[in-house]
């Protein structure tokens, strides 16, 4: 059977479905291990215009690179204070904000996946989700990540690396900036889905 037909999330995704979902640093009353970070950015359409009530979802491993999922052979050692999924909606200026942990790296089929988190974008005008991956600056393994390497254009590849933003630091968490530019100059690379 063919997969069901995707359709846009539309303008009226309930606020109640995203409220409280943008902080990944707590789970079951426990605090996540590792370095806490604030990841924020703007979701922009052509002409650099902000998009409003765009839904951004993220999925990532814990600080040790372990997923809370049965397919991860190290699942039993996953951080009980970390679930790994989050959702945020953009405000009138196009900003989304997450509080999470710096993801750990892990080995996959003989290669290292360097620290990263997966992102998906749902918005008016998008009949399908857009998927991409955010990486972190200064990580030495960025040079050999399977997914990062698949973006051959070096200028576009650089757009997949979040920028350290000390002005966004708050409450013991380091700030990182990652804009999602859906279309136009400086367009973010998105992956086949």
Partner 1 sequence: MKTAVQPHTGYWPYNDQTQMDRQIPRYPRSFTRVPAHPLTERPLTLTELTGPAGIENRLGVEALDLSHAAPEEPRALGQLILVSGRVMDEDGSPIAGAVIEIWQANSCGKYIHELDRFDAPLDPNFTGQGRLITDFEGRYQFLSVKPGAYPVIESGWWWRPPHIHFSIFGPSWMNRYVTQIFFPGEPLNQIDVLLNGVKDEEARQTLIFEAPPPEMGDVQRIPFHRDFVLRGKRATPELP
Where in 120-139 is the site for partner 1 (CB under 8 A)? 120, 122-130, 133
Which residues have C-beta within 8 Å of that of residue 70, sequence separation ≥ 6? none
Element (H, E) at 93: none
What residues from 17 to 36 belong to the interface with partner 1 (CB under 8 A)? 17, 21, 27
Widest CA span in the chain:
50
Position among 45, 91, 139, 169 found at the interface with partner 1 (CB under 8 A): 45
Minimum separation from the CB atom of position 98 to partner 1 (A) = 14
Q: Beginning with the edge strand found earlier in the chain, give each strand of the sheet holding 116-122 in spatial order.
A: 85-89, 55-59, 116-122, 130-135
Residue position matching structure tokens 């008016």: 124
Give whichever of 117 and 168 is closer to partner 1, judged by the CB atom: 117
- In the stretch 157-176, what mask flags binding to partner 1 with x, by CB under 8 A? --------------------
Is residue 6 a contact residue for partner 1 (CB under 8 A)? yes
């Amino acid at each position: 059977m063919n997969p069901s037909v995707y359709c846009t999330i539309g303008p009226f995704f309930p606020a109640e479905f995203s409220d409280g979902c943008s902080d990944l640093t707590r789970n079951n009353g426990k605090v996540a291990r590792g370095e806490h970070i604030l990841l924020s950015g703007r979701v922009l359409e052509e002409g650099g215009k902000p998009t409003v009530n765009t839904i951004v979802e993220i999925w990532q491993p814990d600080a040790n690179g372990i997923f809370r999922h049965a397919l991860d052979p190290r699942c039993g050692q996953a951080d009980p204070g970390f679930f790994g999924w989050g959702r945020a909606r953009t405000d009138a200026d196009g900003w989304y904000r997450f509080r999470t942990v710096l993801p750990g790296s892990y080995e996959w089929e003989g290669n290292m996946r360097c620290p990263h988190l997966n992102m998906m974008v749902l918005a008016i005008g998008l009949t399908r989700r857009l998927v991409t991956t955010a990486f972190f600056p200064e990580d030495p393994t960025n040079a050999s990540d399977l997914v990062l390497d698949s973006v051959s254009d070096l200028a576009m590849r650089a757009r997949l690396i979040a920028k350290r933003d000390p002005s966004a630091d708050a409450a013991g968490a380091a700030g990182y900036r990652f804009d999602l530019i859906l279309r136009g100059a400086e367009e973010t690379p998105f992956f086949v889905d």
